[in-house]
Amino acid sequence: MLEQATQVADLLLDVQTRVNARIDAALIELLPEVQGRLGVGEGPPVDLVDLVNARITGLSVVVTPAAVASVVPLSEASVGTTRTARRAVTEVLDGTDDRLTVIAGPCSIHDPAAALEYAGFLARMRERHGNDLEILMRTYTEKPRTEVDWKGFAYDPFLDGSSRISVGLVATRMLMCRITELGVPVAAEPLNALTPQYVNGLVTYNGVGARNVTDQTARERVSGFSSVVGFKNSPEGSIDAAVQAIVAARAPHEFLGVDAHGVSAQLSTTGNETGHVILRGAKAGPNYSRAHIAETKAKLAARGLPEVVVVDASHGNSQKDHRRQIEVVRDLAGQVAGGERAIRGVMVESNLVEGRQDLDQRHPDRLTYGCSVTDACVDLGTTEVILAELAEAVRVRRTTA
Ligand SMILES: O=C[C@H](O)[C@H](O)COP(=O)(O)O
Ligand SMILES: C=C(OP(=O)(O)O)C(=O)O
C-alpha cells in the first residue's frame, strides 16, 4: 500500500506545485491594480530574513484533501458502512438502541497489512456480536505525544523519520477505504484542522483526546463534524473539561480553517449534538467505578446534558498496563448487567499481538508484526473474551430492563 500511496502522492504533488505557481503568478499580476487603488507604489525591497520563518527549515507542498479524494474515491461499500454505523452509534448513544458501542483496535496504526488483518478479525466479531454490540475499529493514524515521539502513520508512514506526510495522508485514506469496505466502521482521533478532511466520509466516530479536550479550535472543528464525537477527560482527570467541550461543540461556530483545496476558509457550523464524555482515567488513578459514573452523570445532568458515558478501558483506567483492561471491562460489564444505562460504549486497545515494542526509527524493519509501537494492547484472544463479556452484559441488561 505504501508504494502505491507514494506514487499517487508524487503525482498529486506535481500537479499541486504547478497550481501554486499559477496562483503566485496571478497575485503578482494583480499587484499593480491593488497598488493603484490604494494609491501606493512599490517600495524598495525589505530584508525579512531574520523576521519571518526564522525557525522554519522546510516548507513544502502537501497533497490537498480535494486531490486525494478525487484519486481515492469512496466506494458504495465504504459509504454504506459509515452511513449505517454513524446512525447505529448515534442511536446507541441516544438510547434508542440498547446495544453497546465498542471501539476496539490498535493504539496506533503503523503497518497497513497488520491493520487489515485486524479489521478482518473485527469483521468476524461484528458478525458474532451484532445483536448486542456495535463494534468499530480504532484506526488512529495520528498520535498526540506527551513530549517528543513518533507522531503516527499519517505523519511518518515509513516509520523512519522521513516524515512523508503526503504519502501518509494518501495511505491513511486508502487504508480507511479498505477497512470500511470490509464492513468495519472506523474510529479516529482528529489532531488538527487539516487531517479530518482527508478522510471525509470514512470516520464514524472521532474521539477528541485528553491532550486536546480544552482546545477551543478542536471544539470548534468537531462542532461541524458529520461523525459522532466523544471527548476524553483531561490527562489530569478533569471530567469538567470534557463536559465543557460537549457544551462548546453543541453550539454553532464561525472559525478559520481551510477548504478542500487547502485554501484558507471561514467555516460556519451547526454544532454537534452527539458529543459525550469518554472516561479514560488519569495518572492519579482510574475513573470507571460506579462512583465515577454517578459523578459524571451528575455533572452532565447539572448542565442539562444527556447522561451518556463511554469508558476507555486503557490509558489512565488501566494505568497503561494492558492486562488490566480486562479488569476494567469486567467491572463495566457488571455495571451494565446491573442495569446502568448511562454506559453506552467501551474503548479497548487491542492488536494482533499482546503488549508493545519500542520503535527504533533507524531500524523500522526490525519490528514484530502486529504489535503496538505506542501503548500496550491486549491480543485477539483477550479481545474475544472482552467482547463476549460485554455482549453478555448487554443481554442481561436487556432481559432485566
Ligand atoms: O494513546 C497513546 C498514548 O498514550 C498517547 O499518544 C501519549 O503517548 P506518550 O505519552 O507515550 O507520548
Ligand atoms: C491518545 C489517546 O488517548 P488519551 O487522549 O486518552 O491519552 C488514544 O486513545 O489514543
pLDDT digits (tens, 9 = 90+) for 365-384: 999 999 999 999 999 999 99
User: Cell for 255?
Assistant: 472559525
Span from the CA of 202 to the centroid of ligand 1 (angstroms): 24
Nearest ligand (C-alpha, residue 103): 2
Sign of CA dihedral 128, 130, 132, 135: positive
Contacts of 336 (CB under 8 A, 6+ apart): 100, 343, 390, 393, 394, 396, 397
CA distances from 307 to 155, 168, 279, 290, 342 (A): 36, 38, 13, 14, 6
- Predicted confidence at residue 85, as pLDDT, reads 98
pTM, whole model, 2 decimals? 0.95
Mean pLDDT of the chain: 96
Is any atom of ligand 2 closer than 6 Å to the C-beta of 138?
Answer: no
- Amino acid letter for position 107: C
Q: What is the pLDDT of residues 151-197, one digit of tens each?
A: 999 999 999 999 999 999 999 999 999 999 999 999 999 998 899 99
For residue 190, give the ligand nearest its CA. 2
Q: How far is CA 295 from the centre of its chain?
A: 26
Closest ligand 2 atom number to CA of residue 211: 5
pLDDT of residue 286: 98
What domains appear along the chain, each with residue ranges and CATH number? 65-400 (3.20.20.70)
With a pLDDT cut of 70, the percent of the chain lying above it is: 100
CA distance linking residue 246 with residue 242, whole number of Å: 6
Q: Is the pLDDT of residue 33 over 80?
A: yes
Q: For residues 71 and 15, give the distance between their C-alpha atoms in angstroms, rounded to a whole number.
A: 13
Residue 102: what pLDDT?
Answer: 98
- What is the average pLDDT across 282-300? 97
Across the range 44-66, mean pLDDT stands at: 91
Residue 401: what pLDDT?
78
Which of 107, 150, 153, 189 for mutating ligand 2's site (highest number of atoms within 8 Å of CB)?
Answer: 189
142 lines ligand 1 (CB under 6 A): no
CA dihedral 237, 215, 95, 327 (to 10 degrees): -30
pLDDT of residue 96: 97
Residue 41 CA, ligand 1 centroid: distance in Å? 53
Q: Whose CA is nearest to atom 2 of ligand 1?
A: 375
What's the 356 CA to ligand 1 centre distance in angstroms?
Answer: 12
Residue-wise pLDDT tens digits, 193-216: 899 999 999 999 999 999 999 999
320 alpha carbon, closest ligand: 1
pLDDT in tens, 343-363: 999 999 999 999 999 999 999
Q: Give pLDDT, residue 141.
A: 98
CA-107 nearest atom, ligand 1:
1
How many percent of the chain have pLDDT more than 90? 91
Check residue 379 and give its pLDDT. 98
DSSP code string of 297-355:
HHHHHHTT----EEEESSGGGTTT-GGGHHHHHHHHHHHHHTT--SEEEEEEEB-SSSB
Distance between CA atoms of residues 25 and 22, nearest Å: 5
Band of pLDDT at residue 37, cut at 50, 70 and 90 = confident
| Residue labelled with grid coordinates 503566485 | 24
Q: Is the ipTM of this complex over 0.90?
A: yes
Nearest partner of 213 among 179, 193, 238, judged by Cα: 238
Condensed to tens digits (0 to 9), the pLDDT of residues 220-251 reads: 999 999 999 999 999 999 999 999 999 999 99
Residue type, 246: I
281 CA from centroid of ligand 2 (Å): 10
Q: Among 211, 234, 348, 351, which residue has the most ligand 2 atoms within 8 Å of its CB, making it the best to mutate?
A: 211
Please say if the pLDDT value at position 267 is more than 90.
yes
Q: How far is the CA of 129 from the centre of ligand 1 (A)?
A: 30
The residues, any chain, with a CB within 8 Å of residue 353's CB and separated by 6 or more, are 368, 369, 370, 371, 377, 379
* Cβ neighbours of residue 199 closer than 8 Å, sequence gap 6 or more: 172, 173, 176, 186, 188
Q: Identify the pLDDT of residue 75.
A: 97
State the pLDDT confidence band at 45, using cuts at 50, 70 and 90. confident
Q: Is 143 in the pocket of ligand 1 (CB under 6 A)?
A: yes
What's the mean pLDDT in 330-335? 98
Q: Which of 272, 384, 290, 398 is nearest to 343 (CA)?
A: 290
Residue closest by Cα to atom 7 of ligand 2: 210
- Choose one of 143, 321, 351 to mutate for the ligand 1 pocket test, by most ligand atoms within 8 angstroms of C-beta: 143
